[in-house]
Amino acid sequence: MKLFESAFSLSTTDFSRLRFGPFNHFCQRRWGKPAVTAQTRLQDRTRDLKLDKLATQIRKLRIIFKLRELMIDRKRGPFVSLQIMSRWRNFVGLRIGIGDFVHKYPHVFDVFPHPLRRNLCCRITGKMAALMKQEENVINDSEIETVQRLKKLLMMSVNGTLHIHALRLISKELGLPDGFRESILGKYSDDFRLVDLEIVELVGKHENVSVAEVEQWREREFREKWLSEFDVKFAFPINFPTGFKIKGGFREKLRNWQRLPYAKPYEKRQGFGVRSCGGMHRHEKRAVAVLHELLSLTVEKLVDVERLVHFRRDFAIEVNIRELLLKHPGIFYISTKGNTQIVFLREAYAKGFLVEPNPIYIVRRKMQDLLLLGRRHTKQLESSMEIKEHVSAADNGDWLSKSEGSWVLPILQGFD
């Protein structure tokens, strides 16, 4: 009896550890279908090498802008010692040392010894500083286009309001100048009104700008390719990456999704409730349209995924944004290069370049070209380095001649 009780207690305690076999078939496990989440979609997505390479260059350019802002805040001159810059490594998000990063791009950073202290210092090269100044001038000149972008963003929101903090996070992507709260919102008081310290509201109705960017593509497809209005009216441009595997039944699902009607970004959401028949699919398609329009309004047709979350409440997006972007690989592409995830609008790029470049993008592309040069020397850079070495050698000679007489004369005067 005791033997039976011990065997029964052993079977109950170690039931989960027993393996499947002919004598214990009662403990077999049922394996469910693996869950499809945003993380699994991100790992299994088809990579776009051109956009990944571009995302790497954009990340490096952002680090350079952060270093420049920190160097300007020092207010002790146009240069900073590398010893002080080494403290900024974690703040700017570098995985290597500041010294290694600076020496890697001699066309962007000018490293030279201090004329008195003899420690290594760093400053932005003249060519890079000129491009940064050119970008600032181009942003100031395109003020009218910037105002139109802000109007469209405010018209897409539910109540016609947006948080200034969210706009500040994507100010570079929207082409907004530094201090846009005073230079744009305060200057155009007839169009914008500050409801609170951190909330801006659109004044009046602006029906002339309430046309989505995708409508131009739909009109062109309808006119040039002779497609029916039923197929084009609610469709989006689809561009799958190279190597994308199309499974069975995918084309039919995509065709039905393209024909699915939805409330457009600048229209009021009426008639399509989330709980109605097909309401969830229409709600997701409207969210896709809002994100598509937001990316179309940016300068480089890209933005960080984590910064899109700050627009969820204002745009009434009730779904997971990252999962929604990954569900539509023909419209969006998420690059995971670097510390942040960047989403690109696929139709706006071809072979890693913007299809319709704008003045701000052209200037930033020139900055990326300086990064791509790396340590390859041009004739202009070599001549400037020779002049710098000649000046430093002359400074060393003057310093030595002065130092030799500086300790001899006081001793001779002491004997007198």
Question: In the prediction, which pLDDT does 173 show?
Answer: 94
Query: Quick check: 315 and 191 in contact, CB under 8 A?
Result: no
Distance CA 224, CA 247 (A): 30
- pLDDT on residue 13: 47
- Report pLDDT digits (tens) over 131-163: 999 999 999 999 999 999 999 999 999 888 999
Tell me the Cα Rg of the chain: 30
- In our burial notation (b when 16+ CB lie closer than 10 A, e otherwise), range 360-381 reads bbebbeebeebbeeeeeeeeeb
* Euclidean distance between CA atoms 246 and 60, whole angstroms: 34
Give the strand pairing for 161-163 and 302-304.
unpaired
Is the CB of residue 296 less than 8 Å from the CB of residue 213? yes
Residues with pLDDT less than 50, the chain: 1-8, 10-13, 15, 271, 387, 390-416
pLDDT reported for residue 408:
35
**Of the candidates 304, 298, 372, which has an alpha carbon nearest to the alpha carbon of residue 337?**
304
pLDDT for the residue 23: 58
pTM score: 0.81
Q: How far, in Å, CA of 60 to CA of 66, rounded?
A: 10
pLDDT computed for residue 362 by the predictor = 96
